[in-house]
Amino acid sequence: MRRVVPHKEAEFSSHSIMKAMERFVQAVQDMDETILVPSRLMDLEVGDASDTVELKPKGMSTDLYRLYMMVNCVKNELLWGANSGEVDEEEPITTVATSLTKGHTRRPSTASVASTQSATLSDTDSEMSNENDSGIEGESESKPDYTRSVETSFRRHLYGLQRSLRQMTAAAAYLTKRYQSDIGANL
């Protein structure tokens, strides 16, 4: 059995994301060892008339072959990283936004504007301006909000990843049982 990360069993909890990833990878490896001819899954669906497996993924009605391919693709991305050739979901949004701006808009740089303004200010005005523009007061107030926002976002994404891994682990286990039930019975 190949492990996701070499470790001692006591290093992380059974509820950790590492354990969830390990369970998912193991379920997909078991599925791959069982499903020798994936094309036999074509034209079969979750919950169709021939489905006798008790372990059905909730709320899922999809082609078994697509489910098989998706689970394997996710496992590969999890272990080896996303393919660099795949398009990022955010990319079309930025292309649309950048295609709306056809020409360059010339604007004075902030350095030249600041130097022009500072030449006309007296020393006391300049000191007062530097004090107000430092942003230190604003930074100290926004940092706790930023930290809380990052922490909340991290927890939400971590929970979502764990939930997705549980669902895909269940899908891999279902595919294994279903293949054994349908295809194994016909051999």
User: What would the mean pLDDT of 100-109 be, rounded to a whole number?
Assistant: 45
Locate 38 and state its tokens: 């994936």
Other beta carbons within 10 Å of 150: 10
Residue with structure tokens 């523009």? 133
Q: Where are the alpha helices (DSSP H) in the chain?
A: 17-34, 64-80, 91-100, 110-120, 123-133, 136-186
* Higher pLDDT, residue 43 or 4: 43
State the chain's mean pLDDT as an integer: 73
1 neighbors 26 (Cβ within 8 angstroms): yes
DSSP class of 103: S
User: What would the mean pLDDT of 129-157 be, rounded to a whole number?
Assistant: 72
Rounded Cα–Cα distance for residues 123 and 129 (Å): 10
Other beta carbons within 10 Å of 54: 8
pLDDT higher than threshold 90 for residue 92 = no
Given this model, what pLDDT does residue 122 score?
Answer: 46
Given this model, what pLDDT does residue 19 score?
Answer: 94
Rounded Cα–Cα distance for residues 141 and 159 (Å): 28
Residues contacting residue 43 through CB under 8 Å, at least 6 positions apart? 63
Given this model, what pLDDT does residue 138 score?
Answer: 53
Domain ranges of the chain: 16-82+148-187
Q: Which residues pair with 45 in a beta bridge?
A: 63
Task: List the one residue out of 175, 173, 180 whose CA is nearest residue 23.
Answer: 173
